[in-house]
Structure 1
């Protein structure tokens, strides 16, 4: 798998883009909270990125099925580079208080637009790069390497922001996005693909994708489990508050906390890429999400930095196991001509769980306090696991990935 030239180029390009995204995420979060000291301002960071994704993901999926996926991905990363450049300029002109963040939120809206296209394009391109029998291992390796970038990105972003503010970090993000766009041209696909015929309207074509998902309980259960578990239980948006007011570790500690999730993900992803499994996959996914919820619950009540770090480490490892199973189930179950639309819905759910989850976490912290909000989130994740275990029996009992391709 690692020897395929297309996969090597794909990984190299994506590493650059993920590295830029992770650095930018931690710097924007800390900068916004540093200027406002308001949890609600962090909620708007997530909302500014989610709303354009909500509006554009559905037409993006249709375009990805009809046009060159590499070209769409390159264009979205080029827009990401423009956003980093705009944030670089704004970091020298933004004043303290919520009123001074209008420009930052506007740039994040544009960045959310680019992510509406880059997410489903990436997921749809990978199955063209490696043979189908190696797809599950490729998903694990891809996720593991991306999480490796997620370790260095937040750490470097936190340290650079502590040393010199946001301008240097945003400049580095610009370079990484631009380099990823150039490297993408070297990606070679092993499987030829003909663009889908444009029959009917865009909404009719996307309606066919929605009907396909509804007819596959395994796909519907998989992506909706991720949506509600992370939407209700994620703590990433609260990390700046925990770093500042609960653990008292500053921006460098914030980078370490964000990286703890990635360290756990990389460890689990490395193991899965070398020793992929294909038995009792449904049950294992539910167990992994439950462990994720328990680990977040431990983080919520911890006041010791290293215990908090360890809890996030476990949460990251559990999330990687879930990502490995979810990604393989969705890709194996979806025909190539419908990947763009299905992956767009999947990305809409992921975006809802991440960006809208940040909004949920920020507003909950503003209303309830940071620790009660985090505790409630962990309990909600466990409740979701219980409900989906009962409601999606076919997903719970699926044994091998191949069984999902024929499940209706």
Structure 2
């Protein structure tokens, strides 16, 4: 019987760091978005401000895109604990700087966009290191449960973070940034409690550029991994409505900063509930079909959110969208980690993170651009329909996904000996 991950001290420290770090970064994200949109609306109309809000996502994506070929190799070559420690320290410095500028009344759009760039740099390095570190902390048979529990930390963070950020900002901006900085300090301290973990052997027989390209080649050759990564990329790229939440909170649902925090937490509530379920009842069969169905449900929920003018209905749609997205995340993460050799996990995780960031941060830019052309409601409706269409297309293009029954890689049977009789 597989050991429960929480019985492993290293994993407990990892989980605490991820929880507090996610709460902090989620809170900071909602605060930055609110500040950007508020400053923009002082001189711009709603569509111009929506476009600028989307550009925050682009500011985070560009450094991640540029650094992706490097960060995966770093995660496979350098102690992953130190990568996470360094990036968490950088995030803490960014939060403290924004807090000081807000307190002094000197905060402007350039500082907010500069902070977004540094957040993108930190996430570029921390993402592959975090993802590659988790499988080194637990036995292989415990990994699906560890992924679900790790997702709980992330999803609880996305619930508590935006709500906490919106609430504290409504009380006083200084309180929001002070709390964010403190939580990142806890996340940094927790990582220092993780003891030595296995590190892939140094591969000095091949040029670093060759090793970098191996990650991309591996994803391209493994059609099941390719299908799960690209499906998530295009579905969330099209249907990512989170960048437009400040517009819905301020100008459509009229619920203010505190309501924005609740809206931002909606998807996290659904996702965390589903992750808790998987931590006790791991998915074991028909994983590919369940991922496809979950992405269709995600698109439908985003479509409902887009046309809703009721706060209760909007919250319900976001909760359902988050639950469906968690099914997709769970399947994708489990397949990638279990189908990838440890010595390549950093590089493959970097490719996965690039697509995730493209779907999230670049999706925010896409949402802002579409909102400037179609209006916010038109942009969200277009995205929901697009996510459903992409899922149906992927089910046809990648039969491997439809046929995936379990997370285990297929066994490679030995070739029969010459003269042997096949059964």
What TM bracket, shorter-length normalisation?
A: over 0.9
Unaligned runs of 5+ in 2: 42-48, 414-423
- Paired position in structure 2 for 1:288: 294
Which SS does the other structure have where 2:288 is aligned? Answer: helix
1:146 aligns to 2:154 (yes or no):
yes
- Paired position in structure 2 for 1:172: 179
- Paired position in structure 1 for 2:67: 56
- Paired position in structure 2 for 1:230: 236
* Whole-Å separation in 2 of the counterparts to 1:346 and 1:94: 39
- Paired position in structure 2 for 1:339: 345
- Paired position in structure 2 for 1:128: 136
Q: Please, which of 52, 58, 77 is the counterpart of residue 41 of structure 1?
A: 52
Q: Please, which of 391, 395, 398 is the counterpart of residue 404 of structure 2?
A: 398
1:94 positional shift: 5.9
1:258 aligns to 2:264 (yes or no):
yes
1:93 positional shift: 5.3
1:67 aligns to 2:74 (yes or no):
no
Which SS does the other structure have where 1:403 is aligned? Answer: coil
* Whole-Å separation in 1 of the counterparts to 2:133 and 2:360: 22
CA change 1:94–1:349 in 2 (3 A) is farther
Which structure has the larger Rg? 2
Q: Please, which of 193, 213, 217 is the counterpart of residue 211 of structure 1?
A: 217
Deviations 1:231-279 (A, max 9, x none): 0111000111011111110110000011111110111111110001210
For normalisation by structure 1, the TM-score amounts to: 0.96
- Paired position in structure 2 for 1:8: 12
Which SS does the other structure have where 2:285 is aligned? Answer: coil
Deviations 1:292-314 (A, max 9, x none): 00000000000000000000000
Q: Quick check: 2:234–2:359 contact (8 Å CA) kept in 1? A: yes
For normalisation by structure 2, the TM-score amounts to: 0.92
Deviations 1:154-197 (A, max 9, x none): 111111111212x22122111111221111011246x6234432
CA change 1:110–1:312 in 2 (3 A) is same
- Paired position in structure 1 for 2:188: 181
Matches within 5 A, 1:27-38: 27-37=31-41, 38=49
> Following TM superposition, where does structure 1 have runs of at least 4 consecutive aligned residues deviating by more than 6 angstroms?
none
The alignment covers a number of residue pairs equal to 402
* Whole-Å separation in 1 of the counterparts to 2:284 and 2:97: 45
Which SS does the other structure have where 1:369 is aligned? Answer: helix
- Paired position in structure 1 for 2:26: 22
- Paired position in structure 1 for 2:91: 80
